[in-house]
Structure 1
Amino acid sequence: MNQSVLFPDLQDWDDIRLLVIFPAQVQGANIQCRISLSRLAKLHGEELTGETQVLEAFERCRFDIEDYIEELIEQEKFDEDGGVSWC
């Protein structure tokens, strides 16, 4: 694992865009990362409803999510806003 990409234990549920948003820190810069509800449900293996259930599923899948997001960051696959999304 690349120690230059750090993931603080912070995450928020965006119930408008149906995304979990969480930060990554790369060489002192903060990058906004996102995973869609549909992708998270697929990783978790069941339908998710409500903020509590979504965030609990995110915690259970956190390491897989962080590994994939780290790959996207290393490959510099940034969105137009400088963030990284797994949708």
Structure 2
Amino acid sequence: MNQSILFSDNEYYNHDLQQVEFHAQCQGRLIHCMISWEALNALEQPNTPPASANKEGALVLFEAARFDIEDLAEALINQQAFNDDGSIELNHC
């Protein structure tokens, strides 16, 4: 684990976009990260059609896969795979 990238525990579910959003800090920079409901569901329940997205279910799945999600986000940050707005998307897990 790269100690220069820190993840907060303030994740939240964005109902409009159906994704869990969280933040990383790298070299003093706050990085907005997100994982779609589909990608989150695929991490935890591969080969199973996703259930309906909801806040409680999404946050439970996020917490169960937190370390994997943080590893994926860390890899994307190290690859500098940022969106135009400086965010990181984990939608193709």
Same fold (TM over 0.5): yes
Question: In the aligned structure 2, how far is the partner of 1:36 from the partner of 1:53?
Answer: 13
- TM-score scaled by structure 2? 0.89
Amino acid in the other structure paired with 2:2: N
Structure 1 stretches lacking a partner, 5+ long:
none
Q: Secondary structure at the match of 2:43?
A: helix
How far apart are the structure 1 equivalents of 2:36 and 2:83? 14
Task: Give the fraction of aligned pairs with identical amino acids, expressed as a percent.
Answer: 40
Q: What's the CA shift for 1:44?
A: 1.2
Matched, 1:38 2:42: no
CA distance in 1, matches of 2:89, 2:24: 12
2:10 aligned partner: 10
CA distance in 2, matches of 1:54, 1:77: 24
Structure 2: segments with no counterpart, 5+ residues: none
Aligned to 2:76: 72
- 2:65 is paired with a residue whose SS is helix
Q: TM-score, normalised by structure 1?
A: 0.95
- Work out the CA distance in 2 between the residues paired with 1:84 and 1:53: 22
1:54 & 1:44 partners in 2: Cα distance?
11
Q: Matched residue of 1:68: which SS? A: helix
Deviating beyond 4 angstroms after TM superposition, the runs of 4 or more aligned structure 1 residues are none
Cα separation, 1, equivalents of 2:73 and 2:83: 12
Give the aligned residue type for 1:62: R
Q: How many residues are treated as equivalent by the alignment? A: 87
In structure 2, C-alpha distance between the alignment counterparts of 1:34 and 1:50, rounded to whole Å: 15
Bigger drift between 26-35 and 38-47 goes to 38-47
Task: Find the aligned partners of 2:90 and 2:61 in 1 and give their Cα distance.
Answer: 15
